[in-house]
Structure formats: structure tokens, C-alpha cells
Amino acid sequence: MLTGSQRAAQKAQTPRVIWFTGVSGAGKSTIAALVEQALHAQGKHTYVLDADIARTGLNRDLGFTAKDRQENVRRLAECARLMLDAGLIVLVTSISPYAQSRLAARDLFAPGQFVEVFVDTPIAVAQQRDPKGLYARYAQGQISQLSGLDAPYEKPTDAELWLDTTQLDAGQCAQQVLLHARMADFD
């Protein structure tokens, strides 16, 4: 059986997990897509592991209780670990509302393999964006347990990268991630 190091060497890159966290509508998926496009243009082997997409398949049996949200993050982290072993740069987009769940995800990886990116967006801004219509549905009483409103979102205190989306647009945020990637020797 091949090792992760052999797979990474074949791809001529250092695999990493870049874990984007923030409330719904923060811009995690948009930023990750821009980062992936840029890395792809550089010949890097990547994969965006989007929690919303995972909930339609791998995690379709999970709801939005605290326990289910923690399990959602655990499964995403395990998938990311497998992808990292395949030699990929994995971009995970997940609200991941609990600090303990993010720490448990980080603990699956060797030092330096996991980069937490906090996409910091005030709830009021996320509500204005509302790309999935979740905040509108919440306001109409159609859904509950929305992270940052009536369900917790524990902001990271030790993320490797903090992106303030009130100061930077999605393209600028992606550039910050790519700059950090170069500084962290992702090549």
C-alpha cells in the first residue's frame, strides 16, 4: 500500500486541510471556490468538501441538534483526513459552530496539516446576504436552530487566519488565504 507521502510526492505538493468556519452566509463556500480555482490554475490537486453538499449524502441522516452538528463536523474531518492521505489540498466549508468540534477535527491531523480560517461576518451582514434564504425562513418561523441566532456559534479564538468580510470582499479574502498558503509552504 502507498503512503500519504508517496501520494503527495506524485502530486508535487504538500497536502493540507484548510477549514473555513463562520455563520451561514459568511462567504465560506464563495471564498473556498476562489481559492480552489487559483490553486487549480497553479496545477495543485484540490477538493472542496462542502458541508451543505455532504448533508445531501454522507450526512443526510443528521439533523441540527448539538449532537448532530458535532457528528457532522466529525464526519467531515474524517473525510478530509482520507483526502489528505490521498495527497490533496482539502478546502472544508462548514459552519462548525462548536469550538470543541473544531478542536477535535484539528486533532486528527499532524501539526501544520490543518489551517483554520475564520470567515468573520456579523449576523446582520449574513442576514442581508442570505444566499440560501435561511434567515428569511427563520424570520418567518419556518426554521429554528440557526447558528448565531437561536443556536450557538462559538467564534474561533486561535484560527490561523481571520478574514473580516466587512473589510475585505471575497476575492481579497481568497488572496489572503493564498498568501497564507504560500507562507505556510503549501507547494
- Residues marked active site are found at 96
Query: H helices of the chain, where?
Result: 4-11, 28-41, 51-54, 66-85, 99-106, 123-129, 134-139, 170-183
Tell me if 156 sits within 8 A of 106, measured CB to CB.
Answer: no
Dihedral angle over CA of 135, 136, 141, 143, nearest 10: -50
